[in-house]
Amino acid sequence: QVQLVESGGGLVQAGDSLRLSCAVSGRGRTFSNYRMGWFRQAPGKEREFVAAISWTGSITYYADSVKGRFTISRDNAKNTVYLQMNSLEPEDTAVYYCASQAATTTQSFRHRGAYDYWGQGTQVTVSS
């Protein structure tokens, strides 16, 4: 069983920074072989794509709303993926989830359906 555990969320003020971490463990999946993604879900809204990173870490993708403010990275030796969030805005308030892309999928990595393992989420609240 594969487990993803997020950490690093919290309550911050607009303009502050946070770094989220997602530790992957368990048998059945070699972390370094899979693209990883971050999604977020605000109250009353659909879960939306935030960022993704290739299995080597050399290619990254971002939603337009976070481009230039957020940075995704990974450390395959530690089986961990990170999301550095700078210049946070109240609109960034949400539960943030990390996910591991399925081995075979026809869906875009920007779609939640492309991922088969998810963490439990970590709350990020940005006050104005």
**What is the enclosing helix (H) or strand (E) of 34?**
none
Cα–Cα distance between 18 and 85 in angstroms, integer? 5
114 HSE (CA, 13 A, CB side): 17
119 CB-near residues (< 8 Å, 6+ apart): 4, 5, 6, 22, 97, 98, 99
What is the residue-level pLDDT of the chain in tens, covering all 128 positions? 899 999 999 999 999 999 999 999 987 778 888 999 999 999 999 999 999 999 999 999 999 999 999 999 999 999 999 999 999 999 999 999 999 998 888 889 999 999 999 999 999 999 99
Structure tokens at 75: 């450390």
